[in-house]
Amino acid sequence: MYEDGALLDPIISGAASFNMTIYGFGTWNLFYGGTSFATPISAAEWALIEEQAMLLPSTNPYMGNINYLLFAVHNAYEANVMGVVNPFVPMQDIGHNFSYGPVNSYSWYLFNLSISQPADPTLPGWYATIFNPVDSGWTFLGGLGMLNAALMSQDLLGRTSQAGYSMLNPSFGLMQVTPSGLEPFHMLTAGQTYTFQIVLANGGVAGSNYRVIAYSGGQTEMITPPSQNGTFTYTPSFTQPQINANLTEMGYFYITVAHSPAQVPAWYFQQFGVALPNATGQLELTVTNPEALPRTHR
């Protein structure tokens, strides 16, 4: 999957070995594979997930650009959200340190050309952003990995139609409190204090019976129990990553219900970006001539 105009690196991958078999025209056809096989298979698997979403009255089956969802599930797994399993299968090319892990045909191609990934490759600019936190397992060759459709469906939709136990079928959500009312949010500024309100899916008042964990700037914080109407405040932080760029870091809220079943508590996961405040000060410009010498007169 690719992000138009912003992302040209892979997010997921698929098995491309020429050892697939398909049935068509009344017979079995052997040795199919390649990207022309892996891409439509991945698209068809996601179509089945959207088909399952149509059975849930509280879920919108038309998911549009799914890149945000792919990383949201991955980030929820990294945050140890209860019940979320890793839906991505690592695709490891043996050109990397000559490791004989799970491979596909392209891995052997790299090996035969004696190409090895550098020990410290130059990372893409979005590597430490909301779309991919550092050390999350993303690779240049395989992205997050190959999609396990069954596990992805479980993470997004849940095991049953009961709300409260999946990414797209929660029993409550979180909104930002603004002067104009409650609004969804995806980006916050470091050092600025925000007010949020937990909102029930049925429109009821959330109350204070919630446990809120917030993460930003590499720090996890337990939020004081929300007020009687489900509101709380939070000030996100920012830690400049070891990348030569002005980036937006990843943060998240992980909210659970205090007295829901301990084994499978109702939960909500919201990821967001954290940006540095806009720079302030005086900007001084120098006009130069064609010889790159500063102009000293108007």
Answer with the residue of higher pLDDT: 245 or 257: 257
**pLDDT tens-digit series, residues 176-212:** 999 999 999 988 999 999 999 999 988 888 888 899 9
What mean pLDDT do residues 265-274 have?
A: 87
What mean pLDDT do residues 148-162 have?
A: 82
Q: Which two tokens stand for residue 238?
A: 């920012």
Instruction: Please give the distance of CA 217 from its chain centroid, rounded to a whole number.
Output: 17
Q: How far, in Å, CA of 39 to CA of 50, rounded?
A: 17
Counts for the chain of helices (H) and strands (E), in that order: 4, 13
Task: Name which of 240, 188, 247 is nearest 214 in CA terms.
Answer: 188
Answer with the residue of higher pLDDT: 12 or 61: 12
Determine how β-strand 187-189 pairs with β-strand 181-183: unpaired
For 177-189, letters b (16+ CB in 10 Å) and e give eeeeeeeeeeebe
pLDDT value of position 67: 83
Asked whether the predicted pLDDT for residue 244 surpasses 50, the reply is no
pLDDT value of position 212: 95
Asked whether the predicted pLDDT for residue 255 surpasses 90, the reply is yes
Q: pLDDT-derived band of residue 248, with 50, 70 and 90 as boundaries?
A: low
Contact present, 91 and 16 (Cβ < 8 Å)? no
**pLDDT tens-digit series, residues 43-82:** 999 999 988 888 876 666 678 788 888 888 988 888 888 8
Q: pLDDT-derived band of residue 221, with 50, 70 and 90 as boundaries?
A: very high
Task: Name which of 255, 217, 247, 208 is nearest 235 in CA terms.
Answer: 217
**pLDDT tens-digit series, residues 113-127:** 444 444 445 555 445
Asked whether the predicted pLDDT for residue 148 surpasses 80, the reply is yes
Asked whether the predicted pLDDT for residue 112 surpasses 70, the reply is no
Asked whether the predicted pLDDT for residue 96 surpasses 60, the reply is no
pLDDT value of position 136: 59
Give the CATH superfamily of 172-275: Macroglobulin (MG2) domain (2.60.40.1930)
Q: For the chain, which residues make up each domain, given as ranges?
A: 20-157, 172-275
pLDDT value of position 1: 42
Asked whether the predicted pLDDT for residue 36 surpasses 80, the reply is yes
pTM for the predicted model, two decimal places: 0.75
* pLDDT above 90 as % of the chain: 22
